[in-house]
Amino acid sequence: MTDLTQKQVRERIAARLASRHRKEKIFRGLGIASIAFGVLAVLVLFTDIISKGHSAFLQTDIQLEVTYDPAELGIDKIDDESLAWANFDGVIRAALRERFPEVSGRRDKRELYSLVSNGAGFELRARLQENPELLGKTETLWFNADDDVDTYVKSLSESEEGFLGRTSEQKAGWIQALRDSGELKKRFNTTFFTNGDSREPEQAGIRAALVGSLFTLLVTLVLSFPIGVAAAIYLEEFAPKNRWTDLIEVNINNLAAVPSIVFGLLGLAIFINFFEMPRSAPLVGGLVLTLMTLPTIIISSRASLKSVPPSIREAAMGMGASRMQVVLHHVLPLAMPGMLTGAIIGMAQALGETAPLLMIGMVAFIVDVPHGVTDPSTVLPVQIFLWADSPERAFVERTSAAIMVLLAVLITMNTCAVWLRKKLERRW
Amino acid sequence: MQTPTLFALLLLLILVAYGTGFSRAVGAARSRGGIRSLASLPSYYGVHTALWCGLPALVILGFWLVFDDAIIRTLVMGGLSDKPGSVSGQNLLYAQIQNLAAGNLVGESTPQLVAAAAHLTSLRQSGQWLQTALILILATGLGAFALLQISPEMRAREKVEKVLRAILLICACAAIFTTVGILLSVLFESLRFFQSVPVTEFLFGLHWSPQMALRADQVGSSGAFGAVPLFTGTLMVSAIAMFVAVPVGLMSAIYLAEYAGNRVRAFAKPLIEILAGVPTVVYGFFAALTVAPFVRDVAQSIGLEASSESALAAGLVMGVMIIPFVSSLSDDVINAVPQSLRDGALGLGSTKSETVRKVVIPAALPGIVGGVLLAVSRAIGETMIVVMAAGLAANLTANPLESVTTVTVQIVTLLVGDQEFDSPKTLAAFALGLMLFISTLVLNFIALHVVKKYREQYD
């Protein structure tokens, strides 16, 4: 000690202090970097999805002058049977040939025909069915362009070259001609919201998946909310402290962390294999998701029951209410906002779930919009999964658009939950 | 009567029972000087009657709906003289009969099938009748019985509350039923799997190729079910995810709890928590279409061989997904450390980072470890990201740039699509599910135990 002068001590402390402060700065910097990483991840994720998906909300249309020529259609009168056999594709093809009379040769013609979606014939049939007087007349209509054309046209607005992909130079020339004459336009893609799934990207939509999600969530909500609240009430208000109650509690906490795919295995083995419930049905999906979300709902309901102060219970008890009356008349209404918040969050979780639904066969290719909880259907996340696997480039933007819709719904639900909590929850 | 109509009628009956029970109680009390003389409020008499009327009928109806089809099927199939031995053949035959009964003509129909279809239709009709009669008689009979019981001395409230309590208890046991259901479903199928594939081969075998041959004479007709490549793949992806999630999650939790002002906290915390609300299929899409190509390009630009589906891409994205999980759990435990510990350390002249590193973190360590264990169990059980981005090839490799496969990926690929419950290929998925369930259960159990023990320390 005595060897060091006061000055030396001060210098050493100063040097050490400098290094300690440097370390402090580094530590703080690491914290800021971590936060920045998290925020950056959110931003990258969202910009990536939006930049890929926004274009799917527009669809390229091509204008054609079609003639409902009875000879081309191969019919002479309008009834269900003749409409079913009529050659509407031929009419579209004739219209395309008329628009580009210079095209000859089989291969070129086939390429020409692929400008328009092959769903155009169905549109024409629907139109003729509604307006039978059109037979033999000519009118100008807009038709969905094929997905390759759509992709090419959309990429043109981003760069001069455009993404040709499977589109040939010749086809690009035709597209250019149509663009110059105003016979090609982009409009809001209503098909995306009104159609079910399709192998053709330009005809694929999310309606069937949305309705399927709705039915599945409905089943989940109807089952999981009452059961979850009842379980929470029992555990929080009535359960005696014993081994059984402990067992139930440990069980609930563990179930909350069991991987969702295991619930899918349960659904497959018990609901489908043992009880022989229908495959791909929202009913089974809802049951599986109920089991999965129950722990979440029970835990949040218990928390909100716990936050009701004991003085309320004591006051009610003092007025001569039975325990059941205390809970049902006083505690439950006060805890309801918190329970609802928990239920919304649980539903949001269920809405985004994919893996267990794959197990019970909700991956089927579903074109029709389901009408009930036992109809085969798919849900939005599974639709996203299916489209993400599709090779067509046009499905990438549709997948992203479906993700945008899903995220929008989820964000709305979560915002509602937060708003509800702020608005209704009381602090004691 | 169709089931929905019957259900509606039953609901109506329950309402009527409530009303009559209520008014009968009021009527019984009238001669004794009003409802004051009743043991319970009149509405409890109403509910009591309604419960007697509705509860047994609803339970029976539920069981009926569950077992109806199975019983009819056994009766119809039992009436057939010659039927295929295999399960799938029987399924096909029954589907044909059902189609015939529904009036859809499919293929040729033998007289035997037509007779079976007629049998099915008649069974269904008589079943419908029986159901309607049974339910209605039960509901009205028991409802009337309850009505007759009503007297001012009857303690209706206590009886009703007893039933309600029983219902609450049954709901609380739903968690146990679920666990038992999971255990039974994976255990039974796994046992069947282990009858054809020995446990040791499954646990220690190094080769995984579950494709079974369609014919016996085909090359490689028996699949290989050594699950070690799956376990290592799962571990690798989870380790990469933890490598991202733990430092980032922990550091952001520390920063938010110890350094950040209220404004930064109010802004950054919800933003990071958005990551927890994003569905996993979205992460999978992001991993497969954006991160995986990016990882491949970067690896190639520094001269490394990389496949387009790599463990690294899946692990990175999974790590991002788990960040909010780690950070919110750590945030909780860090905030639970008493302020006095911090004040003590600061008062002795340590800097903030020294306080955090030497006092707060050690004090919060059990909780943090518990949180990390929970995060690991999530990473192991995560499915969609790896299904979409990690690939299907069961490589036994330590190179994160190669494609690996995981337990969850194999469960999905083995079970998606049509499957038969007698092939080892399908049953293997359940064995994998059992492994997954056990490992996550053990992790959760330890984690919850650690967290709970720690919480008690400072409360």
Domain co-membership, A107 together with A237 = no
Measured CA to CA, the distance from residue B355 to residue B334 in angstroms comes to: 12
Which runs of consecutive H residues, i.e. helices, occur in A329-392?
332-351, 355-359, 380-388
Are B357 and A322 a contacting pair at CB < 8 A?
A: no
Domain co-membership, A270 together with A401 = yes
Domain co-membership, A340 together with A278 = yes
A399 falls within a domain? yes
Of B368, B235, B259, B367, the residue nearest B314 (C-alpha)? B235
Q: Which of A189, A223, A256 is the last residue of a domain?
A: A189
Which runs of consecutive H residues, i.e. helices, occur in A54-168?
70-73, 80-85, 88-99, 106-113, 120-130, 147-158
pLDDT at B149: 86
Of A251, A297, A290, A243, the residue nearest A271 (C-alpha)? A290
Q: Which of A189, A216, A243 is the last residue of a domain?
A: A189
pLDDT at A26: 95
CB proximity under 8 Å: B 94-123 to A: none
List Cα–Cα distances, A292 to A204, A285, A297, B137, in angstroms. Answer: 30, 11, 10, 37
Domain range for residue A123? Answer: 55-189
User: ipTM, 2 decimals?
Assistant: 0.89
CA distance B217 to chain A (A): 30
- Tell me which residue in A31, A352, A355 faces B251 most closely, judged by beta carbons: A31
Contact with chain B for residue A34, Cβ under 8 A: yes
Residue in A258, A260, A263, A363 to test binding to B, most B beta-carbons within 10 Å: A258
- Residue A164, pLDDT above cutoff 80: no
Among chain B residues, the shortest Cα distance to A41 is held by B320
CA distance A232 to chain B (A): 7
Are B290 and A48 a contacting pair at CB < 8 A?
A: yes
CB proximity under 8 Å: B 222-241 to A: none
CB proximity under 8 Å: A 42-101 to B: 42, 45, 48-49, 52
**Per-residue pLDDT reduced to its tens digit, B38-63:** 888 889 999 999 999 999 999 999 88
The answer to whether B280 touches B314, Cβ cutoff 8 Å, is: no
Our CA dihedral for B131, B134, B138, B141, rounded to 10 degrees, sits at 140
pLDDT at A24: 93
Are B186 and A265 a contacting pair at CB < 8 A?
A: yes
Contact with chain B for residue A407, Cβ under 8 A: yes
Domain co-membership, A329 together with A264 = yes
A23 falls within a domain? no
Domain co-membership, A151 together with A215 = no
Radius of gyration of chain B (CA): 31
CA distance A99 to chain B (A): 39
A39 falls within a domain? no
- Residue A350, pLDDT above cutoff 70: yes
- Ranges under pLDDT 70 in chain B: 1, 82-88, 105-109, 211-222, 417-422, 454-459
In total, the C-beta contacts within 8 angstroms joining chain A to chain B are 262
Q: Which two tokens stand for residue B2?
A: 């169709």
A58: β partners: A188
What DSSP assignment string belongs to A38-61? HHHHHHHHHHHHHHHHGGGGEEEE
Least confident of A159-163, A290-294, B116-120, B388-392: A159-163
A26 falls within a domain? no
Are A410 and B289 a contacting pair at CB < 8 A?
A: no
A195 falls within a domain? no
The answer to whether B392 touches B406, Cβ cutoff 8 Å, is: no
- Tell me which residue in A27, A38, A322 faces B323 most closely, judged by beta carbons: A38
DSSP state letter for A76: S
The answer to whether B100 touches B113, Cβ cutoff 8 Å, is: yes
The answer to whether A340 touches A232, Cβ cutoff 8 Å, is: no
Half-sphere exposure of A239 (CA within 13 A, CB side): 23
Among chain A residues, the shortest Cα distance to B381 is held by A259
Task: For residue B441, list chain A residues with Cβ-Cβ distance below 8 A.
Answer: 254, 258
Residue A66: strand, helix, or coil: strand
Phi, psi of A174 (to 5 degrees): -60, -45
CA distance B103 to chain A (A): 19
pLDDT at B456: 55
A145: β partners: A116
Measured CA to CA, the distance from residue B414 to residue B195 in angstroms comes to: 19
pLDDT at B420: 65
Q: Which of A161, A189, A217 is the last residue of a domain?
A: A189
Measured CA to CA, the distance from residue B447 to residue B412 in angstroms comes to: 27
Domain co-membership, A211 together with A178 = no
Of A389, A368, A412, A414, the residue nearest A211 (C-alpha)? A368
- Residue A1, pLDDT above cutoff 60: no
Q: Angle at which helices A243-256 and B174-196 pack, to 10 degrees?
A: 70
Are B182 and A355 a contacting pair at CB < 8 A?
A: no
Least confident of A74-78, A379-383, A391-395, B117-121: A74-78
Measured CA to CA, the distance from residue B238 to residue B232 in angstroms comes to: 10
CA distance B328 to chain A (A): 13
The answer to whether A282 touches A373, Cβ cutoff 8 Å, is: yes
CA distance B197 to chain A (A): 20
Task: For residue B272, list chain A residues with Cβ-Cβ distance below 8 A.
Answer: 35, 38-39, 42
Q: Which two tokens stand for residue B190?
A: 């796994």
- pTM here? 0.88
Strand order in the sheet with A58-67: A138-144, A58-67, A184-188
- Residue A184, pLDDT above cutoff 90: no
**Per-residue pLDDT reduced to its tens digit, A204-217:** 889 999 999 999 99
Are A32 and B255 a contacting pair at CB < 8 A?
A: yes
Contact with chain A for residue B4, Cβ under 8 A: no
Contact with chain A for residue B281, Cβ under 8 A: yes
Domain co-membership, A147 together with A231 = no
Measured CA to CA, the distance from residue A128 to residue A88 in angstroms comes to: 10
| Block residue for tokens 């282990």 | B194
The answer to whether A296 touches A309, Cβ cutoff 8 Å, is: no
CB proximity under 8 Å: B 380-419 to A: 380-384, 387-388, 408, 411-412, 415-417
Check which CATH number belongs to the domain holding A324 and give it: 1.10.3720.10
Domain co-membership, A367 together with A233 = yes
Residues 6+ positions from A132 with CB-CB distance below 8 Å: A78
Task: For residue A251, list chain B residues with Cβ-Cβ distance below 8 A.
Answer: 175-176, 178-179
The answer to whether B384 touches A385, Cβ cutoff 8 Å, is: yes
Q: Which of A70-79, A87-96, B449-458 has the highest mean pLDDT?
A: A87-96
Are A28 and B255 a contacting pair at CB < 8 A?
A: yes
Contact with chain B for residue A238, Cβ under 8 A: yes
Give buried/exposed letters for B274-310 (b at 16+ CB in 10 A, else e): bbebbbbbbbbbbbbbbbbeebbeebeeeeeebbebb
Q: Which two tokens stand for residue A121?
A: 């014939």
Are A257 and B157 a contacting pair at CB < 8 A?
A: no
The two beta strands, B224-225 and B208-209, are antiparallel
Of B233, B276, B237, B207, the residue nearest B405 (C-alpha)? B233
Number of domains chain A is built from: 2
pLDDT at B415: 86
Least confident of A93-97, A345-349, B143-147: A93-97
Are B281 and A269 a contacting pair at CB < 8 A?
A: no
For residue A120, the one-letter residue type is A
Contact with chain A for residue B69, Cβ under 8 A: yes
Walk me through the domains of chain B, giving residue ranges and CATH numbers: 3-169 (no CATH), 224-458 (1.10.3720.10)
Measured CA to CA, the distance from residue B311 to residue B399 in angstroms comes to: 8
Contact with chain A for residue B446, Cβ under 8 A: no
Domain co-membership, A148 together with A66 = yes
Residue in B285, B355, B376, B386 to test binding to A, most A beta-carbons within 10 Å: B285
Are A385 and B281 a contacting pair at CB < 8 A?
A: yes
pLDDT at B291: 92
A360 falls within a domain? yes
A38 falls within a domain? no
A80 falls within a domain? yes
Domain co-membership, A238 together with A125 = no
Task: For residue B264, list chain A residues with Cβ-Cβ distance below 8 A.
Answer: 35
Domain co-membership, A171 together with A258 = no
The two beta strands, B208-209 and A184-188, are unpaired
| Block residue for tokens 């509860």 | B55
Residues 6+ positions from B240 with CB-CB distance below 8 Å: B311, B312, B314, B315, B316, B318, B319, B400
Task: For residue A35, list chain B residues with Cβ-Cβ distance below 8 A.
Answer: 252, 255-256, 260, 264, 268, 272
In degrees, rounded to 5, the angle at the alpha carbon of residue A407 between the alpha carbons of residues A403 and A408 is: 115
Classify B293 in phi/psi space as left (phi over 0), alpha (psi -120 to 50) or beta: alpha
Domain co-membership, A183 together with A67 = yes
